[in-house]
Structure 1
């Protein structure tokens, strides 16, 4: 089929169970809405249950809401146990939720907030849910990264949690690079365990609440240029949806917008930085992530 990949190209999702983190707003809401609209049962895994219920009420289709605070390993373990009990089989895990350019803050477990939420929280959740995905033919783990993975493009093992210094952009870039390295290493391990695959996506520059923590001067620039560089969340969600549903997708691929600079447009296969493909660093990050979260995966 030729032409742009749009919502109309999402295959029938009836009978599938999809978990979407951060599914109450922005990209996560649009992802959940379109999956449910094509027949999936969608669980909005959110930090604020009331906002999750309000979002679910705006979605046509089968939805549920699960409390999940990615800044707390206790909350992640509880949510994973609830989800495993309610859904013995899971077809899609969409690691979408995230924070960006926050002030220097820490999670409940003492991790730098952006790395702890965007990477370690999703790492732990995936590890705790993976046994519910592995037996399911065609199941997928989709993790949302960003072109910002090229910012300070390294995993700073000498100060991984930014305890000695702090850069909002550097911490965000590291967390998004970690999302990609996690996807690639997870795919390498999944290759020996049935048909489950790991895929990454990024939304380009989308008009969502994620930019609320940008410094004032940067918000002014982004706001002024918004009509030129941003796109609606419904379009920004399409790379994630393609990664989650397109039957031609291969494990370890990365999808983003097809426009200039990958800022806007319809989803296509894109490339990530050379640093993201360093297998030695991927494996080191994996080992450190297991140590920090206390979560080990049922794949070797």
Structure 2
């Protein structure tokens, strides 16, 4: 795990070079600030959250000659706009859009203002496409798909505050699931079929979708099944086999945990109920008291 703050183009170039691949910052705003949070799932697969002011980073042919690398980077934009240039093409990025770029060839990433993105870095060999056909998929905005949404949810579920456990079975499985989803997201559009995950990868995708949509009061087992193209019966089966509880119980516990955190942070009881997906404050109060043994108002008073 690495957390880095940068306040100049020079600091940002060093931070990005250490986290991703060697590169340089061509331009940056006069008053520049950026943060980078990187988590290594394995020795070769990492997830990085980036927030920065406007800048342009370049990996040139000269840099590649001195520092060759064979990594693929998938950038999923969350806030602001940007563009990726590689192989003579340009991909325009906005919220929710993603693009792949290859560290073995020159590229430029340009963002005009404040932005946030999440980046998955994997070995180039994890994607079977090679040669000229591989070059055709870089610097092109990936089409929206279930697999891309699932991948984004999975990457967002990786908590940079949790100490790294490189080599752990959980992290190995997370890396495998991310690579599986990346491959699915890169399938040619004409041959794309609904993603059919199995086992732990499906459990991770389900858990990630729930955690990312807790504030939605319409989040149900049926909606979860529909989002991941599986049956309701399959949802229950996966939760029983891999999470040892029912999906309804998981959703309720996750909502109450979020509400507890928000009450502790100073949110009102009503705000905590709404942002945790409880449409009815009375239902929230009863559920909270049943789970924790005291009403949410008591926790609120403790932190005033």
TM-score clears 0.5: no
Q: Which is richer in strand?
A: 2
Q: Which has the higher contact order (CA 8 A, sep 6+)?
A: 1
Higher CA-based Rg: 2
